[in-house]
Chain A
Amino acid sequence: MKRDSEGDSQGDSQGDYQEMAYAPAPNIIKQIVDDEALLLDTDNQQIHHLNEAAVVLWEHCEKGSSIDKVVSDFIQIYDVDEQTARRDIMHTLASWEQLGLIKLI
C-alpha cells in the first residue's frame, strides 16, 4: 500500500511518503472466515482477528493500493468523512506495523 504525504495526517510530519508502501509480512498467513479473517503469525504463533473493515484494509495492503484509494473506498463503503477514515486507517496500519503484520516496502 502506498502511503502518500498529501493529506496524510500522521505522515506529514515525517516528510515525503510518496513512494512508501505496505505489504503483508512474509510470515503472515490469512484465513478468510465469511467476511472476517484470521491472521496467523507463524513466527510467534499468534492469531489476529480481523473484522470486516480490517479485511478490506488488509486486501488493499495485498494489492498495494495508495492511501487515497483506501480512504475513498472507506468513505464509500462505510459512509464516514474523509478525516475520520484517514485517521482510522493510519492508526490501524501503524498498529499492524508495530505487530509485525505488515512491512514498509
Chain B
Amino acid sequence: MNAGTRTTGHSGRYRNPWPAGTRLLLAAAADWPGHRQTEAIAAAAADVEDWAGWLRIASQQKVVPLLYPKLKAACGERVPEPVLAAMKRTSMASTQHNLMLATELLALLREASAARVPMLCFKGPVLAASAYGNLASREFGDLDLLVRAADAPRAAALLTERGYRESTRLNLSWERTFAHPDRDIEVDLHWAFAPTEAGLHTASFRYDIEGLWNRVRTIPVLRQDVPTLGPEDTLIALCQNATKDFFRTTWPSLSWFCDLSQVIRTEPDMDWYQIDHLASRHGCRRIVHACVDAAAELFCLAVDLPPTRRDRSTRLLASDLCHRMLANLRAPLPAAADLPLRDRLRFHWLARERWQDRAAHLLRPRLLLRAYRYQRRTASGIAESDPPEPDRRRTDRTLTR
C-alpha cells in the first residue's frame, strides 16, 4: 500500500529567528515546488553577512554541489563573486570525482558478475542517480558495496586483484574497507549494515539481509543498470546510519538529511506500511520514525507514515536530531570537537526500543574500547596505519579556453 507524500513548501517555521545563514542552507537544500524556494533563498541570502563562514558550513555539511545552482539561479547577484567561484570549483571537482567513482563501480560490478558474486551498490552513485536525478548534486567519497556474508572473501579477493589494498582500521563484523593506492577511490565492502558482535546485535538492528536481496531493484547509472536496495530498504538503511554514526563529531550532516528527504520525495511508490512493518521487525521503528519526522520538520515535508502513535522517546529523538542539525548549521564546526558522551549515551539509549537491544548495547565493552582507541588515535593525529596519500591522477582536459 502506498501512503504517498506531499510537500507543503515554505511554512511558517522558516520565519523564525534562526540565523540567516541557517535559513539559507535549509531553504537551498530543500526541494520545494514553484517559486517558493526561490523566494525563500533570496530572502535568506539578503540577510547573510558572513559569506565566508557560510561557505565553510556548507562545505562541512557537504552540500555545496546541491546548493550552488539553486543559489546562483535565485540570487547570484547578491552572492560575493569569490564565494560563487569557490562553490563552482567545488561542484566541478565533486562531479569529476563522482563520475570517476561511478565508472569504477560499473567496472567492479562487471567483474563481480563475471565471477558470479552477487553484488549491489547502495548510497554513493546510485543514491545520487535515483534521489537527485544526476551525479552532480550529491557529494560522495566512496563506494558502498553489499554482498552476502558467504561471498565477502571472494569479493575482497576481486578488489585485491583489481589493485585495492585493505585499509580497515577496525576489525568490524559487518564491513571491510579497501583503498586503491594509485587512485583516489575507497570501497566499503559490506555484508551487513550493523555490528554483530559475538552473536549480539549491538546496534538497534538485526537486519534481514536475505530478505533485502529479494527486494533488490536496478537504477540506471551512466546508462547501465546497477542493482541496489529497494526504496524501503534504502530509507531504512539511511535511518540506520543514525545509530551507527551518531558518535561522529559532525553528525547529523545536512547532506544526510537531504538524502533522506530526497528519497522520501522522489520515490512515489514508497510503501510506507512495508517500512513500518520492516522497521518494527528489525527493532528500528523508533529511529526510522524519528529520522523521518526530523527530516519532515527541517524541510517542511508532509510524510504519510502510518498513523501510529509516536512514543515519547521517538519525539525526543526527532527533537534531538533537529536541534543538533540546527546547531551544526549555526557556525563552522571545530575540527577536534566531539559529541559529549552524555548526549551519545542518551541518543543510543533512546534509539533502542527493545530491552534486549538496550542490554546488548550496554554489554559491548569490546566495541566501545575499540571505538575509544580509534577516536584517541585519530584525535591525536597518529596516522601511521593510514595508507599513503594517493597521487591524484588527473584525467581532465580542458579543450577550449
Which A residues fall within an 8 A CB radius of B?
29, 31-34, 36, 38, 40, 42, 45-51, 53-54, 57, 88, 92, 95-96, 99
Contacts and interface: CB of A to CB of B under 8 A. Distances in A.
A33 B395 contact: no
Most chain-B Cβ atoms within 10 A of its Cβ — which of A29, A54, A92?
A29
A63 to B, nearest CB: 18
Contacts of A31: 95, 99, 134-136
Contacts, number: 71
B99 A51 contact: no
30 contacts: A29-B99, A29-B222, A31-B95, A31-B134, A31-B136, A32-B136, A33-B65, A33-B91, A33-B136, A34-B69, A34-B91, A36-B88, A38-B96, A38-B99, A40-B99, A40-B103, A40-B222, A45-B103, A46-B395, A48-B396, A48-B397, A49-B398, A51-B400, A51-B401, A54-B399, A54-B400, A92-B400, A95-B399, A96-B399, A99-B397
Contacts of B206: none
Contacts of B134: 31
B396 A34 contact: no
Contacts of A34: 68-69, 72, 88, 91
A96 B397 CA distance: 11
B162 to A, nearest CB: 13
B139 to A, nearest CB: 13
B100 interface: yes
Contacts of B100: 45, 47
Nearest to B222: A29
A36 B92 contact: yes
B58 to A, nearest CB: 16
B309 interface: no
Interface of B: 65, 68-69, 72, 88, 91-92, 95-96, 99-100, 103-104, 106, 134-136, 222-223, 395-401
Contacts of B398: 49, 51
A49 B222 contact: no
B87 to A, nearest CB: 9
Given A33-B92, A49-B399, A57-B400, 18 more contacts: A29-B99, A31-B135, A33-B65, A34-B72, A38-B92, A38-B95, A40-B99, A40-B103, A45-B104, A47-B395, A47-B396, A48-B399, A49-B92, A49-B96, A51-B398, A54-B400, A92-B400, A95-B399
Contacts of A32: 136
A33 B98 CA distance: 12
A49 B96 CA distance: 9
A48 B212 CA distance: 38
Contacts of A38: 92, 95-96, 99, 396
Contacts of B99: 29, 31, 38, 40, 47
B314 to A, nearest CB: 40
B97 to A, nearest CB: 10
A47 B97 CA distance: 10
A57 B398 CA distance: 14
Given A31-B135, A33-B92, A33-B95, A45 B400 contact: no
Q: Which 10 A-B pairs have the closest CB atoms?
A: A54-B400, A40-B99, A49-B396, A45-B103, A47-B395, A49-B398, A46-B395, A47-B396, A33-B95, A48-B397
Nearest to A96: B399
Contacts of B395: 45-47
Nearest to B102: A40
Nearest to A32: B136
A19 B220 CA distance: 35
Contacts of A49: 92, 96, 396-399
Contacts of A88: 400
Nearest to A40: B99
